[in-house]
Amino acid sequence: MSITTFTSRELNQDIGRAKKAAKDGPVFITDRGKPAHVLLSIEDYQRLTKQRRNIADALAMPGVADIDVEFPRSRELPRAAEFD
């Protein structure tokens, strides 16, 4: 993992280079010589925040409505719950 630094001006002039650098590690963006922001790949961000997509988010994704899914009907009869 490498750390890259861009000034705000460099970032504005070549955002593509900053995105490529973010694939190899965090990109620090400075403003007047001081670190102001960090650009991360989505994988690094998710690993850092341990963010996991939940089922509701996955089902809300564009294109999911176009997927046909059929679930087989259960042939088992319902049974009473057992409580001890």
pLDDT at 72 over 90: no
Which pLDDT belongs to residue 53? 67
Provide the greatest CA pair distance for the chain: 71
Whether residue 55 is contained in a domain is answered as no
For residues 32-49, give the mean pLDDT: 90
Please report, for residues 27, 40, 73, the alpha-carbon distance to residue 48 in angstroms, rounded to integers and kept in the order given: 15, 10, 41
Could you tell me the pTM of the whole model?
0.58
The whole domain housing 7 covers 1-39
Residue for token pair 């001081």 = 34
Structural domains counted in the chain: 1
Domain with residue 20: its CATH number is 3.40.1620.10
Whether residue 14 is contained in a domain is answered as yes
Within 10 angstroms of residue 6's Cβ, the number of other Cβ atoms is 20
CA–CA gap between residue 35 and residue 14 (Å, rounded): 18
